Amino acid sequence: MKIIGLRSSAGLAEKVADQLHSELVMPDERRFPDGELYLRYDTDMSGEDVFIIGNTHTDGEIMEMILTLSAVRDYAVKSVNIIAPYYGYARQHQRYKRGEPISSQILTEIFATYSRSIATVDIHDEQTLSYSKVKFTNLHADRSIIDFYRNVDIDYIVSPDDGGLERVKHVAESLGKKYFYIEKKRIDDRTVEMKAPDIDIRGKKVLILDDIISTGGTIAKSSSILRQKGASRIYVSAIHGLFVNSSESKILENADEIHVTDTVSGKFSDISVYQVVSDYINGLYA
């Protein structure tokens, strides 16, 4: 088995390779003068199951994945498997208006043509899985979050909308904490209206847990509401921390700490999903 670590996921791929006692393979990469990506793999992968760990969020990451799928075919590999910890474009998993692409469908169809299996972590909507003709597994990072907060003094775990309630319920029940959700109405891409339930949280320590921090609007507003209601300490966590336009500064106006997983690496990604990914790979051989 070989683990390939693309740029977006090099740290996570290294941990997975360590855990599985496998060789970590990195591409040699450079840019052509016109900006196009060149890459090459100089490691013999003949006869190996190859697991490519890399996100498919930015256009550059998608291109790196596609070129890698082609490059590894030059070795007589046993199989090629994609693990995209953050599966991009999953929010456009259906056509909302005439003339739009179903972005996650076309990407998935391309990836499935050149791989034996695909896996991701907490995809935004599982409809995307149905677009794959190969096995497509949605892994869950809940246990990484639970392990991280096991010894942290928290009173309530809060979902910033009802859609995330199942995850919050599971994490809260595993940690023996109380939980609730905030009612959220999305007005447009950047504006949300939110209303907390009538629960007394004065002097309480709360953890707000969501699937994605993108512009940070949802989490910033939730933090502000909970602070106004008297929360004494506010932890913020999400599976995927994108932090568009440095949104951490508006979150930290009210929140005390931010911890996200390393599906997207960044300065707050101190919760690792390497065990979840490693167990998934091991499970394929069970």
Structure tokens at 206: 């709360």
Among residues 2, 15, 184, 221, which one is catalytic?
A: 184
- Nearest approach, Cβ of 199 to ligand R5P (angstroms)? 20
Closest CB to ligand R5P among residues 117, 214: 214
- Nearest approach, Cβ of 193 to ligand R5P (angstroms)? 12
Closest CB to ligand R5P among residues 145, 213: 213
Closest CB to ligand R5P among residues 55, 218: 218
Judge whether 274 and 16 are in contact, CB under 8 Å: yes
- Nearest approach, Cβ of 212 to ligand R5P (angstroms)? 4
Query: Cα(127)–Cα(122) distance, rounded to whole angstroms?
Result: 12
- Nearest approach, Cβ of 163 to ligand R5P (angstroms)? 5
Q: Which residues bind ligand R5P (CB under 6 A)?
A: 160-161, 163-164, 210-218
Listed in sequence order, the DSSP H helices in the chain are 10-20, 59-71, 103-113, 142-149, 165-175, 217-228, 248-251, 274-284
CB atoms inside a 10 Å sphere around CB 185: 10
Asked if 184 is an active-site residue, the reply is yes
Closest CB to ligand R5P among residues 90, 102: 90
Angle between the 274-284 and 10-20 helix axes, to the nearest 10 degrees?
Answer: 50
Element counts in the chain: helices (H) and strands (E): 8, 15
Q: Which residues are catalytic?
A: 184
